[in-house]
Each structure stands twice: as C-alpha cells, then as structure tokens.
Amino acid sequence: MNTNRFELSTGVQAACAAGMTVFGYAQYSDGAILALNGAKIVFNNMQQLSEML
C-alpha cells in the first residue's frame, strides 16, 4: 500500500476535529504518525479490532 504521510495525517486530524475517536490501523508501520496526529488507539492486527469496539 502506498498511502503517504500527508493523507494519513489529514484523515486522522479531520476525524479528530469531527469529534470521532480515531482507531489507527498501522499494518506496515509502527503507527507513530497516526498517534502524533491524534489517533487514540493504534493497532497492527485487524483481528484485534472487534475486541477494541
């Protein structure tokens, strides 16, 4: 997947500005960019998501 950092940052910031709780899925990274931009929960295994909801 070739999503750039700007796209990730913009999406997380927009969701935070809308008052949403952001779950950051970081399959191919450590998730630091997601967390720095406001993601409250960062995870790397999609099977974990159902346990977090």
Q: State the residue range of the domain holding 23.
A: 5-52
37 contacts 9 by C-beta, under 8 angstroms: yes
Residue with tokens 């993601």: 39
Q: Which residue type, as a one-letter code, is found at position 34?
A: L
Q: What is the pTM of this model?
A: 0.76
Give me the pLDDT at residue 5, please: 65
Residues 6+ positions from 44 with CB-CB distance below 8 Å: 25, 26, 27, 31
pLDDT tens sequence across 16-50: 999 999 999 998 888 999 999 999 999 999 999 99
- Total domain count, the chain: 1
Residue closest to 46 by CA, chosen among 30, 16, 24, 20: 24
Give me the pLDDT at residue 12, please: 93
Q: Is 26 left (phi over 0), alpha (psi -120 to 50) or beta?
A: beta
Give me the pLDDT at residue 4, please: 65
